[in-house]
Structure 1
Amino acid sequence: MKKIVSPKIKTQLLGLLLLSACSTPDSMKGFDSKTWKDDRDACQNQRAALVDDFEQIRKELYGKKEYVVRNVLGKPDSEELMERSQRIYFYYIEPGTQCDSRNELSEANRVQVRINSLGKVSEITYYKPVETQKPE
């Protein structure tokens, strides 16, 4: 016997799948994304206090899609296009010349998130490595 699913139910299921696909993973919900996103270019110096918390979720970001990074960290402060459709997102973690001129990369410390050609995180580094607490 063949079961028939109404188009309305199919639409609702598709909507739920799309909503869940764009959400932040539960394991990253403890990270204060709002404060990180609100401190654009780290000019308010609030991101520096979140570096240890960021370190807790950093390894979980590997292999995640670009939209997850944007949900957790927000729009990058700067972006560099690489060969073969790769990109590097820059998120400053300390104030610097980027607060005065947003047209150039600053020498201020920043998180660098490499997005590969498949749209997934392949590398996360610091411009100037910082002392962080190691995750347990």
Structure 2
Amino acid sequence: MKHSIYIILLFVSCIACTKQPKLDGLDLEKWRADRGGCKGDRLKMVEKLKSLKDEIKGVSSNDIDDYLGKPDIQQLADRSQEYYIYFLEPGNHCDDIKKKSTAQMMAVRFSAMGMATEVNFQRGMPEE
């Protein structure tokens, strides 16, 4: 019984100690207001965002939601992992989010524990 309590406390402590990203120089208000990258404001931030790629790794999905807003698309991957997709430029998705888009995007992959493990800049949806 005593060991179970220690394990639970250790688990809670690990979850509570998530990394807070330092996204200095990124206008997060403008980013969140440019849903789907359809206004073109996110496109102006791509180089800065790429330079902050390592800051995003290790951040929880909840914290990413707080900083960057809800993803434009949330895609499930294998082994309980998921991707958050943020479009960086206008594309077919601006007319209908369900349309397949080849617009430039940032894909953040989260582990089963909800921590960002990869940040990729690409065109088209990530392969599972």
For Structure 1 versus Structure 2, the TM-score category normalised by the shorter chain is 0.7 to 0.9
Give structure 2 stretches of 5+ with no counterpart: 1-15, 124-128
Note the aligned Cα RMSD (angstroms).
Answer: 2.1
Contact 1:78/1:105 (<8 A) preserved? no
Q: Are 2:110 and 1:115 equivalent residues in the alignment? A: yes
Give structure 1 stretches of 5+ with no counterpart: 1-19, 129-136
> Normalised by the size of structure 1, how large is the TM-score?
0.71
Equivalent residue of 1:127, what SS?
strand
Equivalent residue of 1:28, what SS?
coil
Give the distance between the partners of 1:36 and 1:21, measured in 2 at CA: 26
Q: Encode CA deviations 1:48-84: one digit per residue, 9 max, x unaligned.
A: 0011221232111111111121122110001111122
Q: Please name the residue that 1:70 is paired with.
A: 65
Identity, % of aligned positions: 31
Deviation at 1:29, TM superposition (A): 4.2
> Normalised by the size of structure 2, how large is the TM-score?
0.76
Give the distance between the partners of 2:51 and 2:106, measured in 1 at CA: 14
2:48 maps to which of 44, 53, 65? 53
Give the distance between the partners of 2:48 and 2:93, measured in 1 at CA: 23
Q: Please name the residue that 2:96 is paired with.
A: 101
Trace 1:1-136 onto structure 2 (pairs within 5 A).
Answer: 25=21, 27-128=22-123
Give the distance between the partners of 2:26 and 2:17, measured in 1 at CA: 19
Equivalent residue of 1:45, what SS?
coil
Equivalent residue of 1:53, what SS?
helix
